[in-house]
Structure 1
Amino acid sequence: MRPTRIPYEVRTMIWKYRQRGLKVTEVTDLLNEAGLHYSYHSIQKFLRRLSKRQSLQDSKRKGRPNDWPDDVYRKILKFVDEQMHQDNEKTGSGMSELIKEMFNITNVNERKVKLMRQKLGWAYFDPNFKKLHLWAGISWNGATELCIFDGKEPFTDALFVRVIREVLKPFQTGKYGGRRLTLFYPSNASHDAMHIEEKLIDIGAIDSIVFPVQSTDLNPMTMIWDELQEHLLKDTKVATSAQLLASVEQFWTTTVTTDLCRESVNRLSLTIPKVVEINGVSTAK
């Protein structure tokens, strides 16, 4: 494979050959004889740039000051990527200040930060980023369908019951042949547990157990949501609503396997004895 970029030393040789009046084909042959295999077209392209720029030096790269050595530039890129993984809403000005402080440099601004983030695959955070409500369930035989709602709308009792009727009920029939299920869900000030219980009776074959909203150890879904959060923060580069939606859906279809569901459910066998041992007293500090 021919190299695509002509180094400075070879550019100098080409320029000297041309100064002697050699044709491009002759220059190509001489370079090939010297073991420098560049195509006629790449040399011709370089000569056109040389005629236009009147310089053998590389053109300035956007977002990369000439006085940033390669090793420093690579370190800054790595630093920017790490910072974006921690907080992809970080502003360009904020990132600029961090770079100045970390690397003791002054020639960095928002535009250069933007170009570096684009090079790394990060887009600027969308100011109209859309919040989402998520609902899903897991069981020993796998996960339910993931339900995604507009985060601007409240997740009401009526919506909760609708999800049970339209998502959980078909899941119960498909995965468990209609056998009776028990629904574990956290209590919430916005939900009327008695009202929901009445609706579940109407739907049929679904019992419920409500636990305190802060009792995350008693909620098998906690592990799944933690995995999703980790996925969004570290494994993906999410900056727009569309990217968020795609990333969440990709996580649910590829990561939430039956094995992961069973691992999460099995945690209850470890936590429930501890809860009984301390008589349900909160251990939060």
Structure 2
Amino acid sequence: YEFCKDLRILDFKFAVGCSTSYCYVEAGKDIKRLRSRAKHPAKLHVWGGISTRGTTDLAIFKGTVRMDSKLYCEILETCYLDFSQRAFNGFAKLVQDNAPAHKSAYTTRRLSQWSVRTVEWPAESPDLNPIELVWGSMKAYIRRQHLRTTEELENAIRTYWSQLTPEICQKYISGIQWRMPLVVSARGGNIIERNPNKKGIQVSAIEETDSESEEDDNWF
């Protein structure tokens, strides 16, 4: 199967000042120097797609907004259809997961009206979806920025996205060729990725791009 015309999309939520870091303090020690974290930090919902010819426009909206079929189709009409026409002359194939908004009767009807071709995708298969690695890399980038406002968060997201060249997207997507046999061997289960063309084992395929550090690779 050739993946060169597949356009992979995903939506994700990012929170301001949210990380998985922990700080341990001995009993009786002064903890005034520690800064508390918001219990319910502000979040942004992000939608985007990658292909061998680059990225779609981003759709960014408040994390409290529910992604239903109508909103999803509005995003596709704004961000996907135009890019598909420009980059693939309308011959791209849409790769989406099995979220309710993606598979509803309303969405199916709209996709048919737009003559959008889709690729059937197995449920719960992040190991096969290169854009999952993009989100992991983006999260690592955002964590390093120490952001405090939703405006700063949105700017960081857009800055990262603007740096995703077609060449970088191609490296993410090409990795599926050597991951597929691993997933088959694992009978569809999770895999520890080992690129047969490189030495060592790591948790993600971020090494397929120009990763910034070994720490970032292992974080995702």
Normalising by the smaller structure, the TM-score range is 0.5 to 0.7
Distance 1:171 1:190, change over 3 A: closer
Return the match for 1:260 from 168, 180, 188: 168
Alpha-carbon distance in structure 2 between the residues aligned to 1:163 and 1:220: 20
Q: 1:274 to 1:163 in 2, by over 3 A?
A: same
C-alpha contact (below 8 Å) 2:49/2:55 kept by paired residues: yes
TM-score in terms of structure 1 length:
0.54
Write out aligned runs for 1:85-234 (5 A). Answer: 87=20, 98-100=24-26, 106=29, 108-110=30-32, 112-114=33-35, 125-126=37-38, 129-176=41-88, 178-204=89-115, 206-233=116-143
| Letter of the 1:249 counterpart | R
Give CA-to-partner distance per residue, 1:37-82, whole Å, 9 cap, x none: xxxxxxxxxxxxxxxxxxxxxxxxxxxxxxxxxxxxxxxxxxxxxx
By percentage of residues, which structure has more helix?
A: 1
Bigger strand fraction: 2
1:186 aligns to what SS in structure 2? Answer: coil
Partner residue of 2:149 out of 227, 237, 240: 240
Letter in 1 for 2:159: Q
The 3-state SS of whatever aligns with 1:132 is strand
Q: Which of 1 and 2 has higher RCO (CA within 8 Å, sep 6+)?
A: 2
Q: Give the distance between the partners of 1:182 and 1:191, measured in 2 at CA.
A: 14
Q: State the alpha-carbon separation in 2 of the partners of residues 257 and 171 from structure 1.
A: 15
Q: 1:241 to 1:126 in 2, by over 3 A?
A: farther
List gaps (5 residues or longer) in structure 1: 1-83, 115-123
Shift of 1:196: 2.3
TM-score by length of 2: 0.68
Q: Distance in 2 between matches of 1:195 and 1:272?
A: 32
SS of the counterpart of 1:229? helix
1:170 maps to amino acid: D
Matched residues, percent identical?
18
Greater gyration radius: 1
Contact 1:126/1:240 (CA < 8 Å) preserved in 2? Answer: no
Whole-angstrom CA distance in 1 between matches of 2:20 and 2:182 = 35
Q: String of CA shifts for 1:93-135, please: whole Å, max 9, x gaps.
A: xx5xx3446xxx83x342x335xxxxxxxxx645663212111
Asked whether the 8 Å contact 1:141–1:258 carries over to 2, the reply is: yes
CA RMSD, Structure 1 to Structure 2 (Å): 2.8
Partner Cα separation in structure 2 for residue 246 and residue 128 of structure 1: 21
